[in-house]
Every structure is written in C-alpha cells, then in structure tokens.
Chains A and B, each alone.
Chain A
Amino acid sequence: MNETDVTKNLKGKRKIKVSPPVIAILIALLLFLLSGFLPAGYSTVQGAIRQGLNILRLASFIAIIGAGQTLVIISGGEGIDLSAGPVVTVGALLTYMIINGQNSLVLPVLLLVILTGAVIGLFNGLGITYLKISPFVMTLGMAGVVQGALILWTKGYYDGRVAPFMTQLIARNLVWGIPGMIFIWILIGILMTLLLERSRFGKHLFAIGVNRTAARLSGVKVNRMVVLTYVIAGAMAAVAGFFLVSYTQNAGPNLGNQYLFPSIIAVAIGGTQMAGGKGSYFGTMAGAIVIQLITSLLTTMQLPQALQQIIFGSLLVLILIIYGREKGLRS
C-alpha cells in the first residue's frame, strides 16, 4: 500500500464515521418500521406504541444483564461473564421461592439476591486475578458450579409466587401506559452512565481496560478493580433475575441461560470493544433493543425454528460486519 492509498483510506473512513450506538439505534428504528409491514405486525399508531413498549420491556432484561457484561468487557484482559445465565436463574429462583407472594419480603430478598450474585462474582474475580484463570474459562466453570448448586438446592421442585407489589411495578403499566420496568431501566441506565463517565471507578476501569501495566504504574489497584468489576457484574445478573421473574411470573432451572449470549451480543453491537478499554452503557442499551427487535420480528413472522436461527445468525454477522471491525495488523 503506498502513501496516497493510505491517506485516501483515512479520508474515506473519516467520512462515514458514525458512533456504534447511533448505528444501533438506526438499525433498531429501521427494524421496527419494517415490522409494521408484516401481516402480524402493528397496524395503528396505538398498536405501534404498545408493541414498542413491549419490546423495550423485554430488551430491559437483556440490557440489565448486559450492564454487568459491559463493565467486565471494558475491564479488558479478555473479560467476559459466562456465569451470568445461571446467576440470573439463581436470582429469579431465590425471589420466586422465598418471597412466595409476600410483599413484606421483597426488600430483604432483593438484598439477599444482590449478595448472592456478588459472592458468585467475587469467586469469579478471585479466580481470574489470583489464580490467573482466563475469564472465559473461569466464568464458564462457575456457570457449571452455580447450575449444579441450583439443581442440588431445588431438587427439581420449583414452587413459589412473586409478590403482588412486584407484579404491579414491573409486569403492569405504571403511568401513561408505560410499564414500570422501563422507568427502572432508565434509572439503571443513568446510574451506569454516571458510574462509567463521572466516577473514579469508571476512570480506573477504562484505564485497566486499555493497559493494565500502565494503570498499575499510575497507581490503580488493578487486581482489586478487576475483582470489584466481577462482583458488580454478578450482582447485576442476579438483580436481572429478580426483575425477570416478576415479569415471567414463573421460574425454571434454565430461565437465565437464554439471556446470556444476547446480553454479550448486545454489548458488542453497542460498540463496546471486546478487547476492553472502550465502550458505553448507552451502546449496550441500544444493542439490547436491536437484539430484542430481531428476535420479536422473527417470532411474529412465524417462520420455522430452523429458519429463525439461520436468519438470526446471518443478521448478527451482517450487523457485526457493518461496524464491528478491528484494525488489521497492516494499518
């Protein structure tokens, strides 16, 4: 490649540079408009709003698991949390089985759920930092342990009920026909953005994501940061389970597993770099909406399961090709 090529390339790239979250939102809008043309899609404005709100609510669960995932991925070192699936299930089952329809137990159980998720995250973090197990493998192993503990604990017997208060808040509409879950999600979004952009934790997180050695030399306690990140991720996943079961009103041994990979993909689509050091929660929120839209779209089209999978996979590859590229070694 000679020099003029390089400059031309640079110019060409600069022209079409749009930030990934914006692309994700554009894709989401396009998909949503497309879904209106389907025979089973919405036909009126009210229908469109209702469907949009429903999709937002479903996306919120992916995005709350994705919140922990975003932090872990930004922290670098090939960070990822594969234990999130079973942790969501644990959060959901604890809520479902202990609360058993009593409003008074909601708050204590929420604390218990957060604590359980945090403890699991603590083990992840300790294994990754002190035993030097790669995050992918450590959290994968932990997923097995949590799933196993879950089976041993419940012995296949899932009985309980969500508190009426939670149903009211999350599954029903709160004000102006908007489900309470969406307000909770916006609140979490604001908190996450403040955490990432405005806090010392966030600053250090991006620092260790970019270069751990440099971060350590400039006084960041890298190991402590990594452990803390996994603790928060575990707690977030468990809390997502708490909210999820309030919506589904029902819990089983595999409730959380179907949300694991969507939560990771949402982070990637939102433009957070899988290598760490760069990303935003706003992007993850947009990514979650895109994933949920694709899923809903494929379901309303009533295609056979096999075709749904093929189309889902192909669309994902296409979206990733649009902007998920890393710089090659040559440039």
Chain B
Amino acid sequence: MPEKKNAKVLNWIQSINTKHSLGIPLILVILTTVIFFSLQDNIFEPGRISRLVNSNFRTWLPVLLLTMGQGLVLIGGGLDLSNGAMVSVGNVILALHITSADEPWHNLGIVAIVIGFGLAAGLLNGFLTVYLGLQPVIVTFATSFIYAGLALLLLPSPGGAIPREYTNVYRTTQYLGIPISLIVLILLLLIWEFFRNRKYGRFLFAVGGNARAAYTTGVPVSWVKISTYVLSGLFASLGAISYSLLTGSGFSGSGADMMLPSITGAIIGGISFGGGSGSILGAVFGGIVLGNIRRIISIVRIDSWAVTLVNALVIVIALAMPGAINLLRRKK
C-alpha cells in the first residue's frame, strides 16, 4: 500500500516540522552542504571529507555556540546584542593569562574565571531587561559597549598566546572520524534536548509564547527570562574558549563580528523573533547554513567586490523563504 506509506512519511516530516520546526532549515542545511561538497575536488579521496568537516566545524563552533545561546534568549522573547562583546572579553582574558600548559590548575582557574564572567555578564543583562523592564534591543547594546570597552582595556593591541598543546588538541582531535568541535556541539544539543522535554523547556516556550498567560498559570516568568540571558552568557564564554583555541591569540574585537550572525542564524533556523517558537537544533542548522554559504561563495570565486552583496542577498533569500512559501500557498 504505497499510499499509506506515503502518508507515514508525510506524518513523520510533519512531526519534525511541528516538534522542532525544522522543515526549511533542514532542507537548507542539506542543500548547502551538498553544494559545498560537490564543489570540492577529489572529494572521494580517503580522509578528505573528514578533514573538511573538521576544518568547517572548528571554524564555526564559536559562532554556533553563540547562536545556541541567542536562540534560547529569542525563544524566551528577548534579544542579546552583547554576546559578541562577551566573547571578546573571554578571549582577551584567556590569551593574557594562560601562559603554559605546565600549570593545568592555574589554567583551569582562568577558564573558570572566563565562564564566571559570562554568567555574571548574562545575569546583568537579565537583571536589566527583565527585573528593571528595560528594552533588550537598547540595553544589551549598551552593555555590549561596557564589555567591549573592558576587552579593549585589558588588551589594547592584539597579542597574547594560547599554548600550542591546547590549540593542537582542538584542531586535530577526532573520535571515529568526528572532530572534537562537532562532538561538543552534539553533546550540548543532547543536554538541551534533555532539558527541553522537562519543566524548564516547557516553561521557556510558555514564557516566550505569551508571558502574561504563563505568569497567570504560575510560571516563574522573570526567572525563566533571566536564565536565558545567563545561558547566553555561558554560551558566549564557551564560544570565547573555542575561539581562543581556534586562533591561539587574543584580540579585543574578536567577538564583534559574531553577534549579528548569531541572530541571523537563529532566525534562518526557524526561531521566531517574537519568541515562543523554534528549536535550538534549528538554530544550529541556521548557523551551519550561514557557514556553508560563506564557504561556497569563497570557493566559487566571484568578483571580490561582489562577495558582500552576494552573501547578503543569499541570506535575505533564506530569510524570505518561509514567508514566500506561505504567500504562494495562500494564493493557491
């Protein structure tokens, strides 16, 4: 009975689409990944795919981590424009204070400080936006100035170094052909999946969907909202750690270019800007799509003056896709 089987597949797709809202992001990820790989030469050479995956994901991991944090904040109905500046602070602290691989405890302490900073900065954002009721667009932009200034204060000109022992671990470690960056990503997604199906996840979506209704049914709205900012700070710290391991050096503006992609990625991944819908897996897919687009454009070698325009146009088209499909469907 092919018809029934068809219905089953349709149902399955429908459930993915509704449960994780993954329809379009999933298609885009597959599409861009296929294009990316088909543009490579000698793709079937042994170890080639694995190397490509490694180089892609270790470059993308910092932004993907930020996208996950941004996704949580967006689902909760907020916005974090300061996560990039937090990465800068973390990166600067790490580059300045991690000096040699011989002192693991000292280094672990520094990492703890970076994570502590992310949590504290996120808490400040959450306090200002939720507890004092200030607009996230304005206030997290204001705090981003404070964090970026702090990074510049700590490290006025690029410098510092992460020991080679550490960066090599990040750049080359693989298990079963899967690079460590991808493993970290999958682990974090699994951890989130655990929480998503429990109280916290349900609360989060309720708060983002309709804060007033959630409040009247006894959801601790303020705490859930503040927690999303704290988590965004945590993800920014993790982003700072992975970025430092990737580049091996410190730069006070390192995170500045990550903030906007973290939002665009989350939105392409199906998270609605108003909150209450979408999924973190989708956000990661959105981030991967952005990464793929950039890689593809650099491979195709279009006129270098046109790169920015083509990149932006493709992103706008990706953003417009859900709306365009809806519009066409309604016309039918």
Residues of A whose CB lies within 8 Å of any CB of B are 78, 80, 127, 130-134, 136-138, 140-142, 144-145, 147-149, 151-152, 155-156, 261, 264-265, 268, 274-275, 304-314, 316-317, 320-321, 324-329
Is B148 a contact of A320 with CB atoms below 8 Å? no
Q: How many A-B residue pairs have CB under 8 A?
A: 151
Residue of A138, A148, A275, A308 contacting most chain B CB atoms (<10 Å): A148
- Once the chains are docked, how many angstroms separate the CA of A320 from the CA of B132? 10
Is B138 a contact of A144 with CB atoms below 8 Å? no
**B: contact size bracket:** 35 or more
The verdict on B146 contacting chain A, using a C-beta distance below 8 Å, is yes
Is B312 a contact of A145 with CB atoms below 8 Å? yes
With contacts A78-B273, A80-B137 taken as known, whether A305 is within 8 angstroms of B152 at the C-beta atoms is yes
Residues in A neighbouring B315, C-beta threshold 8 A: 141, 144
Residues in A neighbouring B144, C-beta threshold 8 A: 313
- Contact residues, B179-221 vs A (CB, 8 A): 211-212, 215, 221
Is B221 a contact of A329 with CB atoms below 8 Å? yes
Is A320 a contact of B134 with CB atoms below 8 Å? yes
Task: Pick out which of these stretches binds chain A: B22-30, B31-39, B228-236, B303-311.
Answer: B303-311
Q: How far is the CB of B94 from chain A (nearest CB, A)?
A: 18
Which residue of A is nearest B154, CB measured? A306
Is A131 a contact of B138 with CB atoms below 8 Å? no
Given contacts A324-B139, A329-B212, 11 further A-B contacts (CB under 8 A): A136-B263, A141-B316, A151-B309, A152-B305, A275-B135, A308-B149, A309-B152, A313-B143, A313-B144, A329-B211, A329-B215
Is B139 a contact of A320 with CB atoms below 8 Å? yes
Residues of B whose CB lies within 8 Å of any CB of A are 79, 128, 132-135, 137-139, 141-150, 152-153, 156, 211-212, 215, 221, 260, 263-264, 267, 272-274, 303, 305-313, 315-316, 319-320, 322-324, 326-327
Could you jot down 10 A-B contacts, CB within 8 Å? A140-B263, A145-B316, A149-B309, A152-B309, A156-B305, A309-B149, A313-B144, A317-B134, A317-B139, A328-B133
Q: How far is the CB of A266 from chain B (nearest CB, A)?
A: 11
- Once the chains are docked, how many angstroms separate the CA of A310 from the CA of B302? 40
Residues in A neighbouring B212, C-beta threshold 8 A: 329
Is B133 a contact of A131 with CB atoms below 8 Å? no
Is B149 a contact of A326 with CB atoms below 8 Å? no
Is B138 a contact of A309 with CB atoms below 8 Å? no
Is B305 a contact of A155 with CB atoms below 8 Å? yes
Q: How far is the CB of A304 from chain B (nearest CB, A)?
A: 8
With contacts A264-B138, A313-B143, A316-B142 taken as known, whether A133 is within 8 angstroms of B319 at the C-beta atoms is yes
Residues in B neighbouring A136, C-beta threshold 8 A: 79, 137, 263, 273
With contacts A307-B149, A307-B153, A327-B133 taken as known, whether A141 is within 8 angstroms of B312 at the C-beta atoms is yes
- Once the chains are docked, how many angstroms separate the CA of A329 from the CA of B128? 15
With contacts A144-B312, A148-B310, A152-B306 taken as known, whether A317 is within 8 angstroms of B153 at the C-beta atoms is no
Residues in B neighbouring A320, C-beta threshold 8 A: 128, 134-135, 138-139, 142
Q: How far is the CB of B218 from chain A (nearest CB, A)?
A: 12
Which residue of B is nearest A155, CB measured? B305
Is B146 a contact of A314 with CB atoms below 8 Å? yes
With contacts A130-B323, A264-B137, A320-B139 taken as known, whether A137 is within 8 angstroms of B152 at the C-beta atoms is no
Is A133 a contact of B323 with CB atoms below 8 Å? yes
With contacts A151-B308, A309-B146, A313-B144 taken as known, whether A134 is within 8 angstroms of B152 at the C-beta atoms is no
Residues in A neighbouring B221, C-beta threshold 8 A: 329
Residues in B neighbouring A148, C-beta threshold 8 A: 306-313
Residues in A neighbouring B134, C-beta threshold 8 A: 317, 320-321, 324-326
- Once the chains are docked, how many angstroms separate the CA of A151 from the CA of B260? 20
Which residue of A is nearest B146, CB measured? A313
- Once the chains are docked, how many angstroms separate the CA of A237 from the CA of B18? 40
Residues in A neighbouring B142, C-beta threshold 8 A: 265, 313-314, 316-317, 320
Residues in B neighbouring A132, C-beta threshold 8 A: 322-323, 326
Residues in A neighbouring B310, C-beta threshold 8 A: 148
Residues in A neighbouring B326, C-beta threshold 8 A: 132
